[in-house]
Amino acid sequence: MKPKLFIDGEHGTTGLQIRERLARRDDFEMLSLAMEDRRDDEKRKEMLAACDIAILCLPDDAAREAVAMIEASGNDACKIIDTSTAHRTAQGWAYGFAELSKKQSDNIRTAKRVSNPGCYSTGAIALLKPLINTGVMSPECIVTINAVSGYTGGGKQLIAQMEDEANEKHIDTSFHLYALGLQHKHVPEIMVRSGLKKRPLFMPSVGRFAQGMLVSIPLHLEQLSYATADTVRGALEVHYDGCEYVTVASKEEAAEAGHIRPEDFAGRDDMKLWVFSNEEAGHVNLVAQLDNLGKGASGAAVQNLNLLLS
């Protein structure tokens, strides 16, 4: 019998993209609520009690509530993928970045609770984790993270503000910084999952493009025990060797790249890591290029679903 899958929040931005990716598959039975029933808690409880796998595409509090509904229903066999921030550093939840380590795919495959990574977090952790693991970077290193995302990362409200000129809160700009109080919900996740001990200074921004993301971490080589750019790139290459969804740009590619654009990865579920360098100045800039709704959200959720079904 095919496993039953329910996406709680399927009509939101992440949920819709997951449905799109799963539209042609027949290896599970999809349970679904009509748009008008999406806030009917009784009907949600029925679906959550009946499914074998639940993907939660909800705000944090609603995600916690959904987990409580599943536990209260007695559906002990149900596996959960939570795309919210609610459980990304929680005990008992497998972190849904399969490339985090060589064993992480197996950790996800055998888990009952999987927390999908954040979009910015995916890029930052992908760059930092291999360097800290190998000792190229100290976990005590002081790091600045700059990032730009497509506006779909802000959900339906920001999408409406960017796309609808009649919206009273319409944002008429090509680019803007936010989280100016230097508080962002992805920072604790980045620290816990990368191994950083000191809080990074994280500065996110939004551009007037729907999908795509660049996460940039500039470093002085002296912060890395005077390692070379080749040392940094080599640590990334070894860590992601053989990975399907994460690749590392070669030294030649980085040297020839006049520019890289976040939009170039729109609609893709993979991620590319770059190491740009000025050896004479002792500078490197690490960059992750991905789709905020692909490897940064819905694509990662489907990757984790595939592991749970394998």
The residues assigned a catalytic role are 119
Residues 303 and 245 sit within 8 Å (Cβ to Cβ): yes
Residues 18 and 301 sit within 8 Å (Cβ to Cβ): yes
| Ordered alpha helix ranges (H), 27-154 | 41-50, 60-73, 104-109, 119-134
Residues 134 and 233 sit within 8 Å (Cβ to Cβ): no
Tokens of 225: 């025990």
Tokens of 63: 């995600």
Task: Render 264-300 in DSSP notation, one character per residue.
Answer: GGTT-S-EEEEEEEETTTTEEEEEEEE-TTIIIIIHH
Phi, psi (degrees; rounded to nearest 5) at 128:
-85, -40
Q: How many residues does the chain have?
A: 310
The single-letter DSSP state of residue 261 is -
Instruction: Say how far apart CA 162 and CA 209 lie, in whole Å.
Output: 9
Instruction: Say how far apart CA 120 and CA 206 lie, in whole Å.
Output: 12
